[in-house]
Structure 1
Amino acid sequence: MTVLYEGTHDGERYVGFGTPEDATAEGATLTLYPLGDLDLRAEVLAADGDSAALTAALAAGREPRSIPADEVSFRPPLLPDAIGDALVSGFMQTHNVKVDASTQSQPNWFFKGLGDTLKLSGERLRAPRGAVALTEEAEIVLVYVTDEGGTPQYAGYTFGNDLTDIGRFKRHAGHLSYAKLCDAGVAPWLFLGTPPSQVTGQVAIERGAEEVWRGTFTTGTKALHYGLRDMMSELFSYEGLSHPGRVHYVYIGADRASFHDGFTIADQDRIEIHFATHGVTLTHTVDWR
């Protein structure tokens, strides 16, 4: 599986390839290729899912540099420079464990924000001051780049934390749109392949120096009640979403979270989500004020 990531060092943009473990290991040094004036999103579209061709195109004629990982500022995958060219959204109650008599033929879709909603590991997740009860949601995130003809093209997947005001939604199901207007955690690694059938991992929540909740999760296409292709084709049938050049980050739903165990996240709690099957860890502190 090819994994692509982008970052900046001394004001220059670079792209690299490798596993998340390689990039996050203590003392890691990365082999990076300068992007210069290259349009990374256009190159991803041109490769049309061919990881080998994309790797070759990004490395061609560019002298690689070895740079310590702790000197690189990573970026969300394929994030456009203009905040408004990125749209963060998702689906709710998609997993088999959440199916009940009220389950609809198509899951609820929600808008979460623009590009500045996405926060990398170590950054803070903002929640509205009037939030009722917050919960983490460990999720797969699909990344689409809209081509010149206005068709969103699948680029790959990454992982995220869809911080949600679950309390507001439970109080009034019609307030889903408000419940989702919190920041979203996202990993910088773009996995260039089909979405995984199964992802397992653990969540730990700390308050001060004390761990106050721990749990496990299972996600992936096998865990979904809905067909992923049907979900995405329905979403992108709405032409208003498909402006050429726009990048979509689509959170496809979560397994049970801490809220379902009777736990509520507090201001300044620290959430660590470890996607064990893929070597990805996201850590965020919640700002709820």
Structure 2
Amino acid sequence: MHLVQLAGQENRVVAIVDGNALLPLSQYRSIYQLAFTAIDRARTIPELLQNAGMESALNYDEVYEGKSSWRLLPSFDHPSDPAHLTVSGTGLTHKASAENRAAMHQKEAVTVTDSMRMYQLGMEGGRPPQGSIGVQPEWFYKGDGSILKAHGDELMVPSFADDGGEEPEIAGTYVIARDGQPYRVGLTIGNEFSDHVMERKNYLYLAPSKLRECSLGPALWIDPEPFADVAGTIAIERQNAILWKAKIYSGGNNMCHSIANIEHHHFKYELHRRPGDAHIHFFGADAFSFGENVRLQDGDVMEVSFPTFGRPLRNTLKIAGKGQNLISVQRLS
């Protein structure tokens, strides 16, 4: 089952994807609301929707292409309080990403970089037996719900940035129940989008390189099992022509950490189990254009496609320009 979130002129709605039709649900204004209703009623989301009321169908092509009065929202969000949604991620989960990171920071005197050591730790202990705790993966913070963009939105390279580049990933979406129990709501295509030039200067710049916008969607995949093996493509378009394209692979079979191990190490912190909060967690990338020395330009279109998760996610890169304004702090004394 695939769900989308839509915004109209006066309200928002959740809709079920049915081929080229979107079937709006009359009761639900957000997937966040839908998730908590399922928790409160001790039902799964598919069970909850079996008898849900629906409004008149919408044409998915028209919405997807921006030709409708309805527009796609990020496939998951916190509808009323974006500050209570945490966006984070786990890096060095795929071999290709570890190799790309290692190449950024390789020195002649160093045979194995810290990045490759982290990947090797994952290979050795990132997939523990069920019920056991494995080695801790890398973790990074991206921001709160205010950084989320939808299919068709621009992704902004801020004036202080060195660069902006796509990172095609799968993201898990979560809510924290009133008793502090985390629940996975679904999985979605994501463009984690970060500043690889800044990161390449020194791997200790990883943290600020991640504080950028990101995009989700178009659809959220509701499935009872974690994804095991999915194939897709990442493409960069410039002036309506393909500049660069690559195959990408994700899912548990292509990662050195199991999804369960990643989730444990994210939600082991009490701060990440605050009732009512929502979380989006990126599971890592398999390939990105920067790893092949492609530098994106203003107006380039990034397309992430994993057919299992629905239609491709497309976003245009927008460069804010250079020339920072000094931010000064005012005194209260």
What interval of TM-score do these two structures reach, taking the shorter chain for normalisation?
0.7 to 0.9
Contact 2:2 2:309 in 1 (8 A): no
Aligned residues: 278
- 1:6-155 → structure 2 map (5 Å cutoff): 6-19=5-18, 22=19, 25=20, 29-35=21-27, 39-46=33-40, 50-56=44-50, 59=52, 62=53, 64-69=55-60, 70-80=68-78, 81-99=80-98, 101=112, 102=114, 103-104=117-118, 105=121, 106-155=136-185
Partner of 1:3: 2
| Letter of the 2:260 counterpart | R
Bigger share in strand: 1
Q: Find out whether 1:208 has 2:199 as its counterpart.
A: no
Equivalent position amino acid for 1:6 in 2: Q
SS where residue 264 of structure 2 aligns?
helix
Q: Secondary structure at the match of 1:264?
A: coil
- What is the one-letter code of the residue matched to 2:75? P
1:119-153 CA-to-partner distances (Å, cap 9, x unmatched) read 11110011232323432111111001011122321
List per-residue Cα deviations over 1:186-224 (Å, max 9, x = no partner): 104221112311221222212234432222211111111
Which stretches of structure 1, 4 residues or more, deviate above 6 A after TM superposition? none
Q: Deviations over 1:221-262 (max 9, x none)?
A: 111111221121111111112221111010110002111111
TM-score of the pair, normalised by structure 1: 0.87
Instruction: Pick closer, same or farther for the CA change 1:199–1:47 going to 2, 3 Å.
Output: farther
Which residue number in structure 2 is paired with residue 156 of structure 1?
A: 186
Larger Cα Rg: Structure 1 or Structure 2? 2
RMSD: 2.3
Give the partner amino acid of 2:219.
Answer: W
- Post-superposition Cα deviations, 1:27-86, rounded to whole Å, max 9, x if no partner, equal xx43222226893231243466734322136x1xx3532334433223223422211121
Query: Which amino acid is 2:173 matched to?
Result: V
In the alignment, structure 2 segments of 5+ residues that lack a partner are 61-67, 100-111, 122-135, 321-333
The 3-state SS of whatever aligns with 1:144 is strand
**Partner letter of residue 35 of structure 1?**
Q
1:13–1:135 Cα change, 3 Å: closer
The alignment's TM-score, normalised by the length of structure 2, stands at 0.76
Residues 146/118 of structure 1: CA separation in 2 closer, same or farther (3 Å cut): same
Partner in structure 1 of residue 273 of structure 2: 242
Pair 1:267–1:10, CA change in 2 (3 A):
closer
Q: CA distance change for structure 1 residues 31 and 231 in 2, over 3 Å: closer, same or farther?
A: closer
Residue range with higher mean Cα deviation, 196-205 or 34-43: 34-43
- Secondary structure class of the residue paired with 2:186: strand
User: What runs of 5+ residues in structure 1 fail to find an aligned partner?
Assistant: none
Q: 2 CA distance for matches of 1:36 and 1:271? A: 31
